[in-house]
C-alpha cells in the first residue's frame, strides 16, 4: 500500500508540474522578482542584484534554469525569459511539494493515506497553486525547509534509540538547516526551532560530542554559501553594510503588530494569514474548522504529533504575525502545511473513507477557484510591466520622446523597473516629493518644453485635475483583476494609471482645492506659510478665451466677506466677493484676444484673497472650480445645489453629492450634447428608488429611477439649452441627511455622483 501511495504522490507531482509548466508568467512583477532577474544576469548583492541577504543557493539554481529556458524560448522577450526562468524553479519546487509534504506527515505520525491527502490539500490551496508560478523564492524556500524538517524528525529517532553515533539522516538535516537559508532566509524560522530542539535533546542526554557534531554540520551547510557570498560582496564589512541598509528598508513604513499593536491590526493579520490564502471565505472556514477539530484530535490522541507540529511551525507563525507585513499574502504560505495536515487529521478521526472523500472534495473546490486565477495571472503579465511594455511600444512610434514623471508612491515601486529597462526610462530625481509631484510637470511645460509628459499615477490618486483635461489625451489603467488581488496582495506595486499629457491649455500651481487632495495640500502650504496667493498658468494662444473660476466660502457664519482679485501677468481681470451668506460662488469671465499675450510659454494667473481691511483671507476660501478654453469650446460649471467634492484616500474613489435640485451651467459649443452622470445606488441611503428628472428650464430632458449603481446618458438638444440660458437641473424626489442616523452632518443629500460629464 505504501508503495502505491508513493507512486501516486509522484504521479500527482508530475501532474502539478505539467499544469504549471504550461502557465509560466510573461513578465516579472514584485520588486523582489526584478532583483532576482537582475541577479541572474549579474550577481551583485551590494547593488541589489538580488537584494540582501542574497539568496545565493536560489540564485545558482535560477541561473541554471534560465540558461535552460532561454534557448527554448524562441521569440520571447527579455521580460518573458527572465520571469519564466525564475518561475520554473517555483514550479518544480511546487511539484516536489506533494512527496515532500507527504513525507513530512509520515515522519510526524499520520497514516500514509492521510499524509498524502494533507500534502495534496496544501498544494491545491489557491495561494500555493498561484505562488508556484511566481518568479519568487517562497515556494522553493518552503519545500526546502520541509525537507529539512522531515530529516530532523526522522533522525531524532536515533537519539531515542541510544545509538552510539549520529545517523546520517540527522546530520543531513543539520547540514540542510544551514544550507536552506541560502535558498530563502525565512527558512531559518521553520528549520531552526527543530534543530535547536534536537541540539537540546543531545545536551540533555549528555551527548556533548554529538551535539557539537550536529552544530558543525549545520554550520558547514551555512558556510558553503555564506563564505562565497561575503567574499563577492566585498568582505564582511561590505556585506553587513548592504544587509543593514536592506533591513532599514524592510521596516520602513511597514505596519506590523510588534511595533503598532492593535486589535484591528491583529484581526486583519489573522484574516490575511488564515482566510485569504484560500481565496473564498466559505472554503477557508470549512478548512479552518476542520483544522481546529484536528488540533483537538491530536491533543487528545497524539500529543507527540501535535508537539512536533507546534515546534515546526509555531515560531514561524509568531514571526509572521508580529514582524512581517501580513498584507503580503505570500508570506503566509508556510501556514498552509499545518492547516491542511490538521484538517485531514480531523477527517481521519471519523474514518479513512470520510477522510478520502472530504479531502478530495476540498482539493477539487480549491482547484476550481485557484486555476482560473492562475490563468488570469499568467495571461497578461503583471500590470505595471504591461504599462511599461505599452509605453515602450508607444515610445518607439512617438515623434517626440516623452518625459516620464510619476507620483511618489509609484516612484518607490517602479524605480527598480526603470533600472531593469536601463537608460530608456530615465525618470531622474523626484524634485517634489509627497503630494505635489505635479509641480514638476508644471515647471517642465512652463520652461517652454513641448515634449509630452507620460505621468504614472497611483490608483489612490487617479485623476490629474491640475491640468487642462483636454490635454490629457490618454489615461490607461493597469491593475490585477479584482478576483486575483486577494492572492497577489502585497506586491510592492501592482497597479498604475498611465496618463499622457500634451502641453496643456492651463496648469494649476499652489493654492487650489479642486479635489480633496489639492485642498489638503493647500491647507498644509498655508499653515507652513509657503503661499500667500493662488496661481495658475495659461498657455499663450491667439483668440478670445473664457475663464471659469469658483469655490466656497469656508469661514464661520459671522466671518468677514472676502474679495478675490484675479490678475493675469499682473494685469487685473476680475474681482469676486465671497460671503458667508452665499457660500457657493462661481464666475464666467470673457478674456479678449491678447489678454494672455507675452514672450514666454505661459501667462501667470494669480488669485489673491483679502478682507475689506486688506488682510490675507486665503484660508477663508476654497477655490474648487477652474477652467480656461477658447470661447467656442464646451465648458460647464457646477452652478447651484452641489456639495463639496469628496474622496476615499485609500482607493482614489471621488464623488460629489447633489441635493434635491442641483444645476450645471453650460457655455461654448452650440451643437447638441449629452450629459453623462454616474452614481451610486440610492437604495444605500433611501428606502425606495427615487425619481430623477433632468430638465432645461421647464423642459424635461429625461427621467430615470436608479435602484443600483448607474450610468445615465441624457440628450441635451441645443435649442433647449439655449432657451434655458445654458442651465441644466438634476432633481431627485428622495433625499437623505446623515443627521437622521445620529451624525452631526446636517447636509441634505440627493445623489452620490462619481462623475458628471458633457460630451
In this predicted model, what pLDDT tens digit does every residue of 406-461 receive, in sequence order?
888 887 778 888 888 877 776 666 666 667 899 999 999 999 999 999 999 988 88
Secondary structure of residue 751 in the 3-state scheme: coil
Domain boundary among 630, 660, 686: 630
360 Cβ neighbours under 8 A, 6+ residues apart: 117
Q: Which segments of 161-207 does DSSP mark as H helices, in order? A: 168-180, 188-204
- Flag whether pLDDT at 256 surpasses 90: no
Predicted pLDDT of residue 709: 96
The rounded distance, in Å, linking the Cα atoms of 449 and 469 is 19
> How would residue 75 be classed by pLDDT, with cut points 50, 70 and 90?
confident
Q: What is the separation of C-alpha 342 from the centre of its chain, rounded to a whole number of angstroms? A: 32
Q: List, in sequence order, every beta strand (DSSP E) within 420-484.
A: 453-457, 472-479
Mean pLDDT, residues 235-258: 72
Cβ-based neighbour number of residue 257 at 10 Å: 17
- Flag whether pLDDT at 252 surpasses 70: no
Total domains present in the chain:
4
Which range, of 9-13, 20-24, 528-532, 544-548, averages the lowest pLDDT? Answer: 528-532
In this predicted model, what pLDDT tens digit does every residue of 686-695 receive, in sequence order?
999 999 999 9
Co-location of 211 and 149 in the same domain:
yes
Containing structural domain, residue 395: 383-501
* Cell matching residue 112: 500514509
Secondary structure of residue 696 in the 3-state scheme: strand
The rounded distance, in Å, linking the Cα atoms of 681 and 710 is 7
Q: List, in sequence order, every beta strand (DSSP E) within 362-421.
A: 403-406
Q: Identify the H or E element spanning 573.
A: strand 571-578
The rounded distance, in Å, linking the Cα atoms of 318 and 321 is 5
Co-location of 548 and 466 in the same domain:
no
SS (H, E, C) 623-664: EEEEEEEECCCCEEEEEEEEEEEEECCCCCCEEEEEEEEEEE
Co-location of 474 and 554 in the same domain:
no
Co-location of 129 and 117 in the same domain:
yes
Q: Quote the DSSP letter at residue 493.
A: -
Domain boundary among 595, 630, 665: 630
In this predicted model, what pLDDT tens digit does every residue of 528-551 receive, in sequence order?
777 878 999 999 999 999 999 999
452 Cβ neighbours under 8 A, 6+ residues apart: 398, 400, 402, 403, 500, 501, 502, 503
Q: Give the CATH number, domain containing residue 660.
A: 2.60.120
Q: List, in sequence order, every beta strand (DSSP E) within 238-307.
A: none
The rounded distance, in Å, linking the Cα atoms of 132 and 138 is 8
pTM, full prediction? 0.86
- Flag whether pLDDT at 641 surpasses 50: yes
Q: Which residue has the higher pLDDT, 236 or 94?
A: 94
Let me know: does 458 contact 97? Beta carbons within 8 Å: no
The rounded distance, in Å, linking the Cα atoms of 617 and 536 is 18
The rounded distance, in Å, linking the Cα atoms of 41 and 241 is 23
In this predicted model, what pLDDT tens digit does every residue of 173-198 receive, in sequence order?
999 999 999 999 999 999 999 999 99
Grid cell 530529516 is found at 151
Co-location of 123 and 268 in the same domain:
yes
> How would residue 129 be classed by pLDDT, with cut points 50, 70 and 90?
very high
The rounded distance, in Å, linking the Cα atoms of 406 and 499 is 10
Mean pLDDT, residues 557-583: 93
Co-location of 638 and 625 in the same domain:
no
**For the stretch 163-191, what's the b/e string if a residue is b when 16 or more beta carbons lie within 10 angstroms of its beta carbon?**
eeebbebbbbbbbbbbbbbbbbebbbbbb
Phi/psi-derived region of residue 448, left when phi > 0, alpha when psi is between -120 and 50, beta in every other case: left
> How would residue 650 be classed by pLDDT, with cut points 50, 70 and 90?
confident
Mean pLDDT, rounded, of the chain: 91
Task: Report in angstroms the alpha-carbon separations of 640 from 329, 634, 662, 713, 739.
Answer: 47, 19, 6, 21, 22
Let me know: does 644 contact 554? Beta carbons within 8 Å: no
Compute φ and ψ for 28, nearest 5 degrees. Answer: -70, 175
CA gyration radius, the chain:
32
- Flag whether pLDDT at 251 surpasses 70: no
Q: What is the separation of C-alpha 396 from the centre of its chain, rounded to a whole number of angstroms? A: 29
Co-location of 360 and 463 in the same domain:
no
* Cell matching residue 375: 490563468
The rounded distance, in Å, linking the Cα atoms of 222 and 216 is 10
> How would residue 720 be classed by pLDDT, with cut points 50, 70 and 90?
very high
Co-location of 274 and 160 in the same domain:
yes
Let me know: does 708 contact 678? Beta carbons within 8 Å: no
Residue 141 burial (CB < 10 Å; 0-12/13-18/19+)?
Answer: buried
Task: Report in angstroms the alpha-carbon separations of 682 from 481, 657, 692, 741.
Answer: 27, 11, 11, 16
Co-location of 369 and 454 in the same domain:
no
In this predicted model, what pLDDT tens digit does every residue of 26-36 receive, in sequence order?
999 888 999 99
Closest CA to 736 of 679, 664, 694, 683: 683
Let me know: does 146 contact 96? Beta carbons within 8 Å: no
The rounded distance, in Å, linking the Cα atoms of 432 and 436 is 6
Predicted pLDDT of residue 1: 46
Residues facing 700 on adjacent strands: 695
272 Cβ neighbours under 8 A, 6+ residues apart: 326, 327, 329, 332, 489
In this predicted model, what pLDDT tens digit does every residue of 692-714 receive, in sequence order?
999 999 999 999 999 999 999 99
The rounded distance, in Å, linking the Cα atoms of 13 and 224 is 30
Co-location of 420 and 347 in the same domain:
no
The rounded distance, in Å, linking the Cα atoms of 316 and 190 is 6
Let me know: does 142 contact 335? Beta carbons within 8 Å: no
CA dihedral 246, 92, 30, 76 (to 10 degrees): 130
CA dihedral 363, 366, 367, 369 (to 10 degrees): 160
Let me know: does 405 contact 437? Beta carbons within 8 Å: yes
In this predicted model, what pLDDT tens digit does every residue of 155-164 receive, in sequence order?
887 776 566 6
Q: How many residues does the chain have?
A: 759
226 Cβ neighbours under 8 A, 6+ residues apart: 182
**For the stretch 697-712, what's the b/e string if a residue is b when 16 or more beta carbons lie within 10 angstroms of its beta carbon?**
eeeebeeeebeeebeb
Co-location of 411 and 551 in the same domain:
no
Phi/psi-derived region of residue 742, left when phi > 0, alpha when psi is between -120 and 50, beta in every other case: left
Domain boundary among 630, 657, 686: 630
Closest CA to 99 of 7, 5, 9: 9
Co-location of 438 and 514 in the same domain:
no
Q: What percent of the chain has pLDDT over 70?
A: 96
Amino acid at each position: 500500500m505504501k508503495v502505491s501511495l508513493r507512486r501516486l504522490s509522484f504521479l500527482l507531482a508530475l501532474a502539478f508540474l505539467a499544469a504549471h509548466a504550461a502557465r509560466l508568467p510573461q513578465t516579472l512583477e514584485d520588486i523582489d522578482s526584478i532583483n532576482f532577474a537582475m541577479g541572474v544576469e549579474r550577481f551583485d548583492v551590494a547593488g541589489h542584484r538580488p537584494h540582501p541577504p542574497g539568496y545565493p543557493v536560489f540564485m545558482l539554481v535560477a541561473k541554471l534554469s534560465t540558461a535552460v529556458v532561454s534557448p527554448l524560448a524562441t521569440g520571447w522577450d527579455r521580460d518573458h525569459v527572465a520571469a519564466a526562468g525564475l518561475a520554473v524553479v517555483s514550479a518544480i519546487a511546487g511539484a516536489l511539494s506533494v512527496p515532500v509534504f507527504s513525507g513530512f506527515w509520515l515522519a510526524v505520525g499520520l497514516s500514509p493515506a492521510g499524509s498524502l491527502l494533507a500534502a495534496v490539500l496544501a498544494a491545491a490551496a489557491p495561494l500555493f497553486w498561484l505562488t508556484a508560478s511566481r518568479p519568487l523564492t517562497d515556494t522553493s524556500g518552503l519545500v526546502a525547509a520541509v525537507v529539512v524538517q522531515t530529516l530532523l524528525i526522522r533522525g531524532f529517532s536515533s537519539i531515542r534509540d541510544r545509538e552510539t553515533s549520529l545517523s546520517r539522516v540527522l546530520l543531513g538535516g543539520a547540514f540542510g538547516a544551514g544550507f536552506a537559508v541560502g535558498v530563502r532566509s525565512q527558512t531559518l524560522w521553520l528549520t531552526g526551532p527543530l534543530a535547536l530542539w534536537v541540539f537540546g535533546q543531545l545536551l540533555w542526554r549528555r551527548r556533548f560530542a554529538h551535539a557539537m557534531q550536529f552544530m558543525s554540520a549545520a554550520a558547514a551547510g551555512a558556510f558553503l554559501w555564506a563564505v562565497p557570498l561575503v567574499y563577492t560582496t566585498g568582505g564582511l564589512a561590505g556585506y553587513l553594510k548592504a544587509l543593514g541598509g536592506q533591513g532599514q528598508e524592510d521596516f520602513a513604513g511597514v505596519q506590523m503588530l510588534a511595533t503598532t499593536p492593535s486589535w484591528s491590526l491583529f484581526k486583519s493579520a489573522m484574516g490575511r494569514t488564515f482566510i485569504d490564502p484560500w481565496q473564498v471565505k466559505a472554503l477557508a472556514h470549512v478548512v479552518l474548522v476542520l483544522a481546529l477539530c484536528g488540533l483537538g484530535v491530536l491533543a487528545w490522541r497524539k500529543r507527540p504529533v501535535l508537539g512536533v507540529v507546534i515546534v515546526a511551525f509555531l515560531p514561524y507563525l509568531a514571526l509572521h504575525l508580529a514582524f512581517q507585513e501580513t498584507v503580503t499574502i505570500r508570506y503566509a504560505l508556510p501556514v498552509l502545511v499545518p492547516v491542511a495536515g490538521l484538517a485531514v487529521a480531523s477527517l481521519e478521526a471519523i474514518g479513512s473513507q470520510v477522510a478520502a472523500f472530504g479531502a478530495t472534495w476540498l482539493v477539487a473546490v480549491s482547484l476550481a477557484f485557484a486555476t482560473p486565477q492562475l490563468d488570469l495571472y499568467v495571461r497578461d503579465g503583471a500590470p505595471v510591466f504591461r504599462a511599461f511594455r505599452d509605453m515602450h511600444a508607444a515610445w518607439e512610434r512617438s515623434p517626440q520622446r516623452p518625459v516620464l514623471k510619476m507620483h511618489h508612491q509609484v516612484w518607490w515601486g517602479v524605480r527598480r523597473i526603470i533600472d531593469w529597462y536601463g537608460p530608456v526610462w530615465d525618470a531622474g530625481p523626484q524634485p517634489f516629493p509627497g503630494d505635489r509631484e505635479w509641480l514638476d510637470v508644471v515647471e517642465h511645460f512652463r520652461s517652454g518644453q513641448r515634449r509630452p509628459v507620460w505621468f504614472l499615477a497611483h490608483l489612490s490618486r487617479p485623476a490629474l485635475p491640475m491640468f487642462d483635461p483636454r490635454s490629457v489625451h490618454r489615461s490607461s489603467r493597469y491593475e490585477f483583476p479584482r478576483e486575483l488581488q486577494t492572492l497577489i496582495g502585497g506586491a510592492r506595486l501592482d497597479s498604475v494609471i498611465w496618463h499622457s499629457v500634451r502641453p496643456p491649455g492651463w496648469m494649476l500651481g499652489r493654492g487650489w482645492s479642486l479635489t480633496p487632495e489639492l485642498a489638503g495640500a493647500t491647507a498644509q502650504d498655508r499653515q507652513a506659510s509657503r503661499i500667500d496667493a493662488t496661481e495658475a498658468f495659461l498657455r499663450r494662444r491667439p483668440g478670445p478665451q473664457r475663464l471659469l473660476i469658483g469655490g466656497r466660502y469656508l469661514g464661520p457664519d459671522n466671518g468677514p466677506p472676502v474679495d478675490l482679485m484675479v490678475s493675469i501677468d499682473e494685469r487685473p481681470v476680475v474681482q469676486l466677493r465671497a460671503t458667508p451668506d452665499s457660500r457657493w460662488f462661481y464666475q464666467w469671465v470673457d478674456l479678449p484676444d491678447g489678454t494672455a499675450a507675452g514672450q514666454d510659454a505661459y501667462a501667470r494667473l494669480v488669485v489673491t484673497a483679502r478682507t475689506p481691511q486688506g488682510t490675507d483671507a486665503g484660508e477663508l476660501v476654497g477655490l474648487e472650480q477652474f477652467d480656461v478654453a477658447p470661447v467656442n469650446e464646451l465648458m460647464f460649471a457646477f452652478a447651484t445645489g452641489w456639495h463639496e467634492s469628496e474622496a476615499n484616500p485609500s482607493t482614489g474613489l471621488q464623488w460629489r453629492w447633489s441635493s434635491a435640485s442641483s444645476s450645471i451651467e453650460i457655455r461654448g459649443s452650440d451643437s447638441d450634447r449629452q450629459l453623462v452622470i454616474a452614481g451610486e445606488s440610492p437604495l444605500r441611503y433611501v428606502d425606495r428608488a427615487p425619481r430623477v428628472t433632468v430638465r432645461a428650464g421647464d423642459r424635461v430632458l429625461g427621467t430615470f429611477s436608479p435602484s443600483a449603481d448607474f450610468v445615465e446618458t441624457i440628450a441635451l438638444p441645443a435649442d433647449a439649452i439655449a432657451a434655458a440660458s445654458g442651465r441644466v437641473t438634476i432633481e431627485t424626489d428622495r433625499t437623505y441627511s446623515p443627521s437622521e442616523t445620529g451624525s452631526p452632518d446636517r447636509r441634505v443629500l440627493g445623489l452620490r455622483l462619481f462623475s458628471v460629464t458633457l460630451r
